[in-house]
Chains A and B, each alone.
Chain A
Amino acid sequence: MSALVRTWLVLLALLALSVGLSFVGLGRTALALSIVIAGAKATVVAWKFMHLSERSPTVRLFAAAPVMWVVLLVGFVVYDSVTRGAP
Chain B
Amino acid sequence: MRTEFLHEPFVDAHQQHDASSLGMWTFLASEVLLFTGLLTAFASRASIHADAFRRMSHEHMHVALGTLNTAVLLTSSLTMAIAVHRARESAELPKAPLVATGTLGIVFLCVKGHEWFLAFGEHLAPWDPAATLHADERLFFVLYFVLTGVHALHLAIAVAAVLATAAWRAAPNTIEMTGLYWHLVDVVWLFLYPLFYLMGAG
A-to-B contact residues, CB < 8 Å: 1, 4-5, 7-8, 11-12, 15, 18-19, 22-26, 30-31, 34-35, 37-38, 41-42, 45-46, 48-51, 55-56, 58-59, 62-63, 65-66, 69-70, 73-74, 77-78, 80-82
B86 CB to closest chain A CB (Å) equals: 8
Given contacts A22-B198, A22-B201, contact A74 B29 (CB under 8 A): no
* Contact status of A81 and B48, CB under 8 A, knowing A19-B67, A34-B194, A49-B183: yes
Number of interface residues of B (CB under 8 A): 46
How many pairs of residues, A versus B, come closer than 8 Å at their CB atoms? 124
Could you tell me the distance in whole angstroms from the C-beta of A81 to the nearest C-beta in chain B? 4
Which residues of B line the A interface, CB within 8 A?
18, 21-22, 25-26, 28-29, 32-33, 36-37, 39-40, 43-44, 47-48, 63, 67, 70-71, 74-75, 77-78, 80-82, 84-85, 176, 179-180, 183-184, 186-187, 190-191, 193-195, 198-199, 201-202
Given contacts A46-B183, A56-B18, A66-B29, contact A11 B82 (CB under 8 A): no
Residues of A within 8 A of B18 (CB): 56, 59
Q: How many Å lie between the Cα of A18 and that of B180 in the bound state?
A: 25
Chain A CB within 10 Å — which of B37, B75, B187 has the most? B187
Cβ-defined contact, A58 with B22, below 8 A: yes
Q: Assess whether A35 is in contact with B194, with CB atoms less than 8 Å apart.
A: yes
Known: A38-B191, A48-B81, A62-B25. A77 touches B202 (CB 8 A): no
Cβ contact within 8 Å between B47 and A81: yes
Contacts A23-B201, A74-B43: A4 and B82 contacting too (C-beta < 8 A)? yes
Q: Which of A5, A58, A70 touches B36 (beta carbons < 8 Å)? A: A70
Contact at A12–B71, with CB atoms within 8 Å? yes
- The residue on A at minimum CB distance from B23 is A62
Most chain B C-beta atoms within 10 Å of own C-beta, residue among A30, A31, A41: A31
Most chain A CB within 10 A, of B22, B179, B198, is at B198
Cα separation A7 to B78 with both chains bound (whole Å) = 8
